[in-house]
Amino acid sequence: MATRLTIGRAAEAAGCKVQTIRYYEQIGLLRRPPRSEGNQRLFAQEDIRRLAFIRHARALGFPLQAIRDLLSLGDEPEQSCEAADAIAKAQLGDVEQRIEYLQALRRELKRMVEQCRGGRIADCRVIEVLSDHAPCEMFNHAVPRSGVGSP
């Protein structure tokens, strides 16, 4: 029951473009999958899961290098625990800062939507509220240049 998928189905499953998958293969994030008689890629379920993981992590703004690090945790389960621990902890700290910031953003957006019920926007404090994190270095690795928005 080796239900292998062609690249189009894989892309559909992961919610990304076909070219993105080929790109990930090219830069070594995904293995080079076996090919059909006619030279078409055939992806196993494991490939699809790995791809889905990459897409989710990208959607959250993790750069490919951080994703490479996270993936290495699963790829080399026999590597020293300290190394894995360091990667996981760094990502965890990053994730917690993101959550905190997003919760502040959510509070303010909710407040605005509430206020809107009453007619006009009196005072929009989105910027004030969300820019005042002065000493928070935020993330250690840079934000995706190209839209990490939504795939």
Partner DNA sequence: CCTAACACCTACAGTAGCTGTAAGTTCAAG
Partner DNA sequence: CTTGAACTTACAGCTACTGTAGGTGTTAGG
Of 91-99, 106-114, 118-126, 139-147, which part binds DNA (CB under 7 A)?
A: 139-147
Which residues ranging from 55 to 94 are in contact with DNA (CB under 7 A)?
Answer: 58, 63-65
Q: Which residues contact 34 (CB under 8 A, 6 or more apart)?
A: 4, 41, 42
Residues 39 and 81: beta-carbon distance below 8 Å: no
Size of the site for DNA (CB under 7 A): 34
Token pair of 25 as six digits? 């293969």
Of 13-21, 89-97, 102-110, 122-130, which part binds DNA (CB under 7 A)?
A: 13-21
Distance CA 96, CA 89 (A): 10
Residue 45 contacts which entry, a copy of itself, DNA, none (Cβ below 5-8 A, type-dependent): none
Assess 27 for contact with a copy of itself (CB under 8 A).
no
Q: Kindly list the distances between the CA atom of residue 61 and the CA atoms of 11, 34, 42, in Å, as whole numbers in the listed order.
A: 20, 30, 28
What's the one-letter identity of residue 74?
G
Assess 50 for contact with a copy of itself (CB under 8 A).
yes
Residues forming the site for DNA (CB under 7 A): 6-9, 11, 16-20, 22-24, 27, 35-41, 54, 58, 63-65, 142-148, 151
